Structure 1
Amino acid sequence: MVAFLLGAVIVTAAVFAFLNGFRDASAAVALSVRTRALTPSIAVLLASLFNCLGALLSVAFVAIFADKLFMNFPTGQMGLILLLAAVISACLWGIYMWWRGFPSSSTQALISSLVGASMGSAIMGHQTLESINITMWSLVLLPLLISPVVAFVLGFVAVYPATWAARNTAPHRVNRRARQMQSVAGAVVAFGHGLQDGQRTTAVLLLALLAAGSIGAGELPLWVPIFTAVLLALGTAFGGWRISYTLGHRLVRVDPLRGSVAQMLGAALLFIGAIVLHMPLSTTHAITAAVVGAGANQRFAATNGKVLAKIAGTWILTPLACVALGALFFLALSPLA
């Protein structure tokens, strides 16, 4: 049974990584395509390459992320069922959000689902994850409350120096240079996404192998980060165009200058979160909020308030729904223990 559960976790982790790249590709390509900085095919290929590179380098931060999230993680069949329930829940929520065309956080879906699975384990009288209340607050609720606000404010403020620097330049030259910068910005966002989100799947696989007794503490097989990086890149290559259309057309209208400012700022927040703060920031939250902030700093109304309200509602709903799904799937899978 342990071998079967381990295989199931690996398969579902592969699906999660693919969906992660598939859905979050929008953060890297939506604005570049919307402002005609890149063609859709070039934008997606560029995002796939740098997403893969970021995921490979994210292995340096996996241990820190795993220590924050998986303290006192149960071994054996119970640990594998916890992971399986959480990853299935996160995958289903991601598919639902893609179908609705709304950007949402894969990171928060996974962590919330794991907390929910731990709650399901407590209901059954089994071992739970240590300090799940602290985990939920520090890794889900706190980033949800802070990172979109910070990204919005910085996105709004960053427009001022950018427009001041371009004040004596002809508009067509500003747009051309901004599109060139956006080509770079899209790659940087994809790299930051891989750096942040590559840790999630790698950590899940690492914990699954530890729970199954396939590896010892401190070991990380080479195939694990490669597996994660390839699946993220494949998902990005297919591109989640429903969500890209929402970000690039339905949510906010920005010119190339504001688009490049928002993308570079969002990427900077991802790097700071991964390297400096060791905090799992959401690519979706950072980029979307930065774009809305930059778009708000214009002389005309550029943001669709109804779409923004729906997106913000899904961000609030994600932790609640995924906790419930994680608990439900754990209870459904618990007979396998």
Structure 2
Amino acid sequence: MEPLLLGAVIVTAGVFAFLNGFHDVSNSVATAVRTRALTPTVAVLLAALFNLVGALLSTSLALFFTDAGIGLPEGATGLGILMAALLAACLWGVLTWYRGKPSSSTHALLGGVIGAGGASQLTSGPAMSGAGETLLLQIVLPLLLSPVIAYVLAYLAVFPATWLLRHGSPARVNRGNRMAQSVLAGAFALGHGLQDGQRTMAVILLALVGSGYATGTDIPLWVQVFAAVLLTTGSLFGGWRITHTLGNRLVHMDPLRGMTAQGVSSAMLFIGAISLHLPLSSTHTMTSAIVGAGANQRFASVQRPRVVRILLVWLATAPATALVGAVFFLALSPLL
């Protein structure tokens, strides 16, 4: 039964990677499409390519997640927790895409893991031990702080950007900012691949380690390619509902502020993945940077009711997926 469950976890992880790319490609292309720096087709192709490169470029964050999940029970129970968490995260991703709301796939996955782990303990099964402090200090806090940092940095970055371009004509400034956006759209997609592409690798590696098929010190090449290809495939299909929300419904965005938001969020993803080895949500950083850059205008440009609704979705993500993950684990428990 355990090999069959392992195969199911790997397949579901592939679905999660596809939905991640489908759901989050909006973050890479929204501002560039909104300001007409890129056409939708070119933007999606560019994002998909750099998502693939980013996912294949590094595995450090995947190994970090594996270390953080060391308290996951071995055997069928651990696989059941991962299966329930993935199903909860996938369901939340589809729901938020349908509603056109940007949300964090990482928060959804973590919520599902916590809920399923709690349900395992509730049914007198093996409990997740030793991972609570690591999850809180090294994963949850960076994910919660990243929106605040992205908002503040994007708001402040508009000042030097405006000052540097103060002598240029509007047409020349907008043309230069659109060119910069074209480059930064690829940079952000690369950062997204570095960050979110490794979530799927981490889940599969945890499943392999728990089943005794891997050691956890290195990621098999097929796992890296599997996650990267499915993330890229999802990106190619694109979730335009969320692109419309980010590009048109949050703030009145001009090329300068679109460039600023992309630059800040791209830098945060790179620093988090390469320098600090910390997981950051591409959705949280880009959405917050868009709102921060858009708020730095002389007229009221932020659609506050929509921003509040998105914040409520973010706050609800982990509790909702924890509840759904617990329900899925209880449904799977007779098979474990």
What TM bracket, shorter-length normalisation? Answer: over 0.9
* Cα displacement string for residues 127-154 of structure 1 (whole angstroms, at most 9, x for unaligned residues): 1222454245335542343111111111
Unpaired runs of 5+ in structure 2?
none
CA distance in 2 between partners of 1:128 and 1:322 (Å): 18
CA distance in 2 between partners of 1:130 and 1:211 (Å): 14
* Cα displacement string for residues 111-140 of structure 1 (whole angstroms, at most 9, x for unaligned residues): 111011110111011112224542453355
- Contact 1:113–1:323, Cα closer than 8 Å, also in 2: yes
Report the equivalent of 1:247: 246
Matches within 5 A, 1:1-337: 1-68=1-68, 70-139=69-138, 141-337=140-336
- Contact 2:61–2:279, Cα closer than 8 Å, also in 1: no
- Contact 1:112–1:140, Cα closer than 8 Å, also in 2: no
* Cα displacement string for residues 191-245 of structure 1 (whole angstroms, at most 9, x for unaligned residues): 0000001111001111111222223443422110000100110111111100000
> SS at 1:102's partner residue?
coil
CA distance in 2 between partners of 1:17 and 1:147 (Å): 22
CA distance in 1 between partners of 2:215 and 2:273 (Å): 26
- Contact 2:66–2:216, Cα closer than 8 Å, also in 1: no
Q: Structure 1 residues 137, 72: closer, same or farther in 2, change over 3 A?
A: closer
CA distance in 2 between partners of 1:113 and 1:267 (Å): 27
Q: Structure 1 residues 32, 236: closer, same or farther in 2, change over 3 A?
A: same
CA distance in 1 between partners of 2:211 and 2:66 (Å): 16
CA distance in 2 between partners of 1:218 and 1:280 (Å): 19
> SS at 1:324's partner residue?
helix
- Contact 2:206–2:216, Cα closer than 8 Å, also in 1: no
Residue 321 of structure 1 aligns to which amino acid in structure 2?
A
- Contact 2:181–2:259, Cα closer than 8 Å, also in 1: yes
Residue 285 of structure 1 aligns to which amino acid in structure 2?
H
Out of 165-174 and 204-213, give the one that drifted further: 204-213
Residue 40 of structure 1 aligns to which amino acid in structure 2?
P
CA distance in 1 between partners of 2:81 and 2:157 (Å): 43
- Contact 1:140–1:319, Cα closer than 8 Å, also in 2: no
CA distance in 2 between partners of 1:234 and 1:155 (Å): 30
CA distance in 1 between partners of 2:214 and 2:67 (Å): 17
Q: Structure 1 residues 167, 246: closer, same or farther in 2, change over 3 A?
A: same
* Cα displacement string for residues 20-49 of structure 1 (whole angstroms, at most 9, x for unaligned residues): 000100110011000000000000000000
* TM-score, normalised with respect to structure 1: 0.97
Residue 308 of structure 1 aligns to which amino acid in structure 2?
V
> RMSD of aligned C-alpha atoms?
1.3
Residue 28 of structure 2 aligns to which amino acid in structure 1?
A
CA distance in 2 between partners of 1:184 and 1:144 (Å): 26
Q: Structure 1 residues 117, 315: closer, same or farther in 2, change over 3 A?
A: same
- Contact 2:139–2:278, Cα closer than 8 Å, also in 1: no
> SS at 2:187's partner residue?
helix
Residue 156 of structure 1 aligns to which amino acid in structure 2?
Y
Q: Structure 1 residues 135, 324: closer, same or farther in 2, change over 3 A?
A: farther
CA distance in 1 between partners of 2:199 and 2:137 (Å): 16
Residue 119 of structure 2 aligns to which amino acid in structure 1?
G
Give the superposition deviation at 1:303.
1.1
Unpaired runs of 5+ in structure 1?
none
Residue 21 of structure 1 aligns to which amino acid in structure 2?
G
Aligned residues: 336
CA distance in 2 between partners of 1:189 and 1:144 (Å): 17
CA distance in 1 between partners of 2:53 and 2:205 (Å): 19
CA distance in 1 between partners of 2:71 and 2:310 (Å): 35
Give the superposition deviation at 1:77.
0.9
- Contact 2:60–2:277, Cα closer than 8 Å, also in 1: no
- Contact 1:117–1:329, Cα closer than 8 Å, also in 2: yes
4+ residue runs of structure 1 moved beyond 4 angstroms? none
> SS at 2:196's partner residue?
helix
Residue 50 of structure 1 aligns to which amino acid in structure 2?
F
- Contact 1:115–1:132, Cα closer than 8 Å, also in 2: no
CA distance in 2 between partners of 1:213 and 1:141 (Å): 28
